[in-house]
Chains A and B, each alone.
Chain A
């Protein structure tokens, strides 16, 4: 059974950093691109970042470029999102998702809440 479990969220002050993790199991992690998607309170979902299978290619939405870094450790089957210079508008539930060629974003974690506030 495919499982994605996010961790690392919480309350953080504006301008500070936070690192999210997503532990994957039930599939060959190194064979799939992975992504982060977020949903701000009362707002819709928005794609944040995607990483290739090897980690050699990464893609970001404009609003997080230069501040967020997506990475992965295939040996640990874990996906990461390093978030720096956090802003109030980054407050959201962050989901990790598998970006399968057969069906993009086919499996999702339950999400982790990040609140940016002083």
Chain B
């Protein structure tokens, strides 16, 4: 199985701050990685698919990049509604595997 290492596991940030979350895969997956946001008691929401494509309806302050086996999710300017858990998913090969998640909290 492809291992996905997500960091940090938790993150304190201020409103307006630039936030970056990273997922590293154990082998090359091309761009086959998605990013999700999940708030307590709610369904996960797709933010970014195929590493860089913004899901329809998601704010443009969210963006995804990748280089080799390293993938990043960036929030350019943190808004209050961005406080949530974030996780990544590799869908290059079965079984699809997830990062452990990042809990984003307000400083």
Interface range on chain B (Cβ under 8 Å from partner): 20 to 34
A44 pairs with B96, CB closer than 8 A: no
* Dominant secondary structure of chain B at its interface with chain A: loop
B55 pairs with A103, CB closer than 8 A: yes
Q: Is B104 an interface residue (CB 8 A)?
A: no
B43 pairs with A106, CB closer than 8 A: no
Q: Is B83 an interface residue (CB 8 A)?
A: no
Could you say which of B63-71, B73-81, B87-95 contacts chain A? B87-95
Q: Is A27 an interface residue (CB 8 A)?
A: no
Interface range on chain A (Cβ under 8 Å from partner): 10 to 19
Q: Is B41 an interface residue (CB 8 A)?
A: yes
Q: How many A-B residue pairs have CB under 8 A?
A: 51
Closest to B100 in A: A44
* Dominant secondary structure of chain A at its interface with chain B: strand
What's the least CB distance linking B46 to chain A, in Å? 5
A residues 57-98 touching B (CB-CB < 8 Å): 59, 61, 95
- A85 to B49 alpha-carbon distance, docked (Å): 36
B96 pairs with A95, CB closer than 8 A: no
Q: Which of B42, B49, B99, B101 contacts A103 (CB 8 A)?
A: B49
- A4 to B45 alpha-carbon distance, docked (Å): 12
Closest to B94 in A: A59
